């Protein structure tokens, strides 16, 4: 007998930097969410759609839980916790390197317990630990909640099939909510902004990258004189201070060139056409406290 088609909504939740976005990209097999070896990389809920033979999974990446210091980071945390209420099942990601339930994980766990929702515990970064410590960690968490399953993985490698199988078990019978070629709810502009920010995170250090946001001012498809497709993108990297601006631009513009040419190469792969990318740097000192901007760009809609 044909299996009944299942579909539903799933949310990834976890502390910052545990590998949620890496796992999302791995599950969707597309670069939907940017990743970085820095905290607070994801700033808003990012939806992705996974199409399987017998199911469609609508999965949302969320900002990592951390101690909030600005209006922006408080909004990010609110987004992550709000998403827990809106899904059929939760994927709680923790790091294999933990040997106890830390403060952040405890906060998340309490919200999951409160939600009473089916939850899969994903223990990520198993490549960094010995098997014995992993078993001890599983034991600690098993006592806290009746997890539907506990899956140790390394999101950097391809461990996605087992995660998809476990999610499918928890989904209700349902329709295909999205067309098969739709894999994210982000617009091309948003994907471009995030890609530029990803390169800024990659090439900048200390507090500079955390104070950056990107605004695409122009995004125009056109034909070159030879008839080739090309997209003109003008973008601005906003930062918190004049000194940061100097660092982002670098000696004779070298750092900005590095950021923009790396972003351009990735965007050309992503969109499959030539990109003409121009990037400027401007200072906007208080943007992380600017409610209008936060509501427009980052708040859960
Ligand atoms: N060693 C190892 N590193 C990993 C693994 N998965 C992810 N990482 C790395 O962990 C860092 C953080 O990954 P992200 O996917 O950006 O983490 P995140 O949870 O989305 O972080 P936020 O968006 O800040 O909440 C990156 O440098 C990843 O390459 C893994 O399985 N093993
Ligand atoms: Mg992330």
- 25 CA closest ligand 1 atom index: 15
d(CA 42, CA 48): 14
- 62 touches 42 (CB < 8 A): yes
Which residue's CA is minimally distant from atom 11 of ligand 1? 37
Mean pLDDT of 83-97: 96
Pair of tokens at residue 127: 């490549």
CA nearest ligand 1 atom 12, residue:
17
Give the start-to-end residue ranges of the domains of the chain: 6-170, 188-297
Under DSSP, the state recorded for 67 is -
Is the pLDDT confidence value at 159 over 80? no
| Ligand nearest to the backbone CA of 93 | 1
Mean pLDDT of 63-75: 97
Assess whether pLDDT exceeds 70 at residue 108. yes
> What's residue 1's pLDDT?
59
CA of 225 to the centre of ligand 2 (A): 40
Closest protein CA for atom 7 of ligand 1? 19
Q: pLDDT at position 150, please? A: 97
Q: What percent of the chain has pLDDT over 70?
A: 99
Give the C-alpha separation, 235 to 219, whole Å: 9
Looking at residue 271, its pLDDT comes to: 95
Q: In terms of CATH architecture, what is 6-170?
A: 3-Layer(aba) Sandwich (3.40)
**Token duo for residue 31:** 């670069």
Q: Is the pLDDT of residue 157 over 90?
A: no
The dihedral formed by the CA atoms of 69, 72, 75 and 81, expressed in degrees to the nearest 10: -60
- Does the structure show a pLDDT above 80 at 3? no
The rounded distance, in Å, linking the Cα atoms of 46 and 21 is 9
Give the closest residue to 171 by CA, choosing from 117, 123, 115.
117
93 vs 64: CA distance, rounded Å: 10
> pLDDT, tens digit, for every residue of 7-46?
999 999 999 999 999 999 999 999 999 999 999 999 999 9
Residue in the structure block whose two tokens are 């399987």: 52
pLDDT one-digit tens code per residue, 229-284: 999 999 999 999 999 999 999 999 999 999 999 999 999 999 999 999 999 999 99
Instruction: List the alpha helices (DSSP H) in the chain.
Output: 20-28, 71-84, 103-115, 131-142, 160-170, 188-203, 242-249, 254-271, 291-297
CA angle at 200 for the pair 196 and 205, rounded to the nearest 5°: 170
User: How much of the chain exceeds pLDDT 90, in percent?
Assistant: 95
Alpha-carbon gap, residue 98 to 115, rounded angstroms: 24
| Mean pLDDT along residues 117-143 | 95
Neighbouring residues of 228: CB distance < 8 A, sequence distance ≥ 6: 273, 274
Cβ atoms of 45 and 207 closer than 8 Å: no
CATH 3.30.300.20 for domain 188-297, yes or no, is yes
Task: Grade residue 160 by pLDDT with cuts at 50, 70 and 90.
Answer: confident
Q: Mean pLDDT score of the chain, rounded to an integer?
A: 96
| pLDDT surpassing 90 at residue 158 | no
d(CA 200, CA 144): 39
Q: Which residues line ligand 1 (CB under 6 A)?
A: 14, 16-22, 35-37, 39-42, 63-64, 124-125, 127-128, 154-156
> pTM for this one?
0.96
Cα 239 from chain centroid?
21
The mean pLDDT of 55-78, rounded to a whole number, is: 97
């Amino acid at each position: 007998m044909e299996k009944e088609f299942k579909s539903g909504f799933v949310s990834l939740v976890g502390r910052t930097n545990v590998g949620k976005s890496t796992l999302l990209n791995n599950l969707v097999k597309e670069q939907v969410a940017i990743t970085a070896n820095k905290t607070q990389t994801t700033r808003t809920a990012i939806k992705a759609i996974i199409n399987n033979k017998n199911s469609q999974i609508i999965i949302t990446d969320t900002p990592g839980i951390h101690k909030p210091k600005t209006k922006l980071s408080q909004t990010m945390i609110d987004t992550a916790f709000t998403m827990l209420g809106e899904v059929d099942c939760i994927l709680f990601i923790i790091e294999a390197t933990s040997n106890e339930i830390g403060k952040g994980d405890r906060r998340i766990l309490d919200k999951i317990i409160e939600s009473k929702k089916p939850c899969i515990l994903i223990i990520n970064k198993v490549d960094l630990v010995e098997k014995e410590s992993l078993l001890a960690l599983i034991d600690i968490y098993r006592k806290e909640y009746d997890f539907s399953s506990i899956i140790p993985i390394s999101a950097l490698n391809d461990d996605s099939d087992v995660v998809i199988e476990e999610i499918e078990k928890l989904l209700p019978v349902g329709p295909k909510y999205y067309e098969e070629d739709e894999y994210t709810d982000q617009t091309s502009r948003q994907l471009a902004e995030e890609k530029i920010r990803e390169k800024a995170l990659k090439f900048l250090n200390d507090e500079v990258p955390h104070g950056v946001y990107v605004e695409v001012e122009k995004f125009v498809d056109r034909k070159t004189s030879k008839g080739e497709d090309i997209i003109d993108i003008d973008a601005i990297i906003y930062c918190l201070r004049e000194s940061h601006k100097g660092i982002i631009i670098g000696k004779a513009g070298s750092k900005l060139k590095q950021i923009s040419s790396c972003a351009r190469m990735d965007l050309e792969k992503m969109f499959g056409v030539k990109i003409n990318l121009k990037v400027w740097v401007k200072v906007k000192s208080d943007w992380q406290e600017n409610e209008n901007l936060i509501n427009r760009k980052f708040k859960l809609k």
